[in-house]
Amino acid sequence: MHRIIIPLLLLSLFAVSAFAKMPLDKTQGGCGTQECSQCHTMTVKEAGELLSFAGVTVKSVKPAPSHGLHEVMFEKNGGAGIVFIDYGKKHLVQGMLIDLKTKEPVAAHDKDLPRPKQFSGVDPKLIPAQHGVVMGNPKAANRLYVFTDPDCPYCRQLHPILQQLEKQMPELAITVMLYPLRQLHPQAYDKSRVVVAGKKRDLLDKAFEGKELPKPKGDEGKAAIDAIIKFAEEQGINGTPMLLLPNGKPYQGPRDVASIKKAIEGK
């Protein structure tokens, strides 16, 4: 079983109207005078009904490390993950909760989730680059590898930066490895198939601009995308976008043209 991870933050704070109606006088009880879970409850059945649209199987519900949220552990397609539902049962929150002191992710279900393989880099020769779509100079010896999902909002923010990078570094090949996170973005798989099958730059750009693409024909692009997904999961690449420098090490710095350029040049 692999763990479904949303690598980048989508943190939201919700002001639930019910909170304002709770008495604050400690003689009367209310929020701040007792454990929140005593008043704000959610069953596995309730969570399952709220998430029925996603086609997941809810396994457990616990109070989240952050007050005001229920933490829901689910399974889908052999993978496990967590989402958060507010106490008002009106809002769904995707992402990780980060402890501001330790800067580490925290979760009530931390011990229940399978531990993903930690990715520290890979030999570039092992990357199935033949399935990638190249931006920039395809004959360049210097290569940047980008594992990216056309429906990932952070990947869409990165794509214009890659377009600027290819202009500023004409002797760079940017190998785009389309890695759709199907549990999060169900439509991304077919979009990725169409792009990799055609290997056309306009299709690649349209995908990351959120424009409509043609539907894949037959099994076109399926073997290539499946190979990229298999490689990424085996290596422990659990989220997108993931940038690999020419030496195969992950780039973890600021995502702006100047910073990425310096990292590629080894400065």
| 117 within domain boundaries | no
Domain boundary among 112, 139, 165: 112
Structural domains in the chain (count): 2
Residue 133 lies in a domain: yes
Give dist(CA 227, CA 230) in Å, integer.
5
For residues 58 and 144, membership in a common domain is answered with no
Distance between CA 79 and CA 53 in Å, rounded? 17
148 with 68, same domain? no
Residues forming a β-bridge with 83 = 72
**Same domain for 233 and 142?**
yes
CATH number at residue 91: 3.10.450.70
Nearest to 129 by CA among 49, 224, 40: 224
pLDDT in tens, the chain (267 residues): 444 443 333 333 233 333 333 344 444 455 554 566 678 899 999 999 999 999 999 999 999 999 899 999 999 877 788 999 999 999 999 888 888 888 788 999 988 887 666 688 999 999 999 999 999 999 998 999 999 999 999 999 999 999 999 999 999 999 999 999 988 899 999 999 999 998 889 999 999 999 999 999 999 999 999 999 999 989 989 889 999 999 999 998 899 999 999 999 986
Q: What is the pTM of this model?
A: 0.61
- Angle in degrees, 0-180, between the axes of helices 257-264 and 153-168, rounded to the nearest 10: 60
Looking at the structure, tell me whether residues 143 and 248 fall in a common domain: yes
Residue numbers of the domain that contains 226: 124-264
Which residues fall within 8 angstroms of residue 175, CB to CB, at 6 or more apart? 127, 129, 132, 133, 134, 143, 144, 145, 146
Q: Are residues 220 and 162 in the same domain?
A: yes
Whether residues 80 and 174 share a domain: the answer is no
Q: 137 with 257, same domain?
A: yes
- Angle (nearest 5°) at CA 21 between 18 and 25: 130
119 part of a folded domain = no
Tell me, yes or no, whether 33 lies in a domain. Answer: yes
Its sign, for the CA torsion 129, 135, 139, 142, is negative
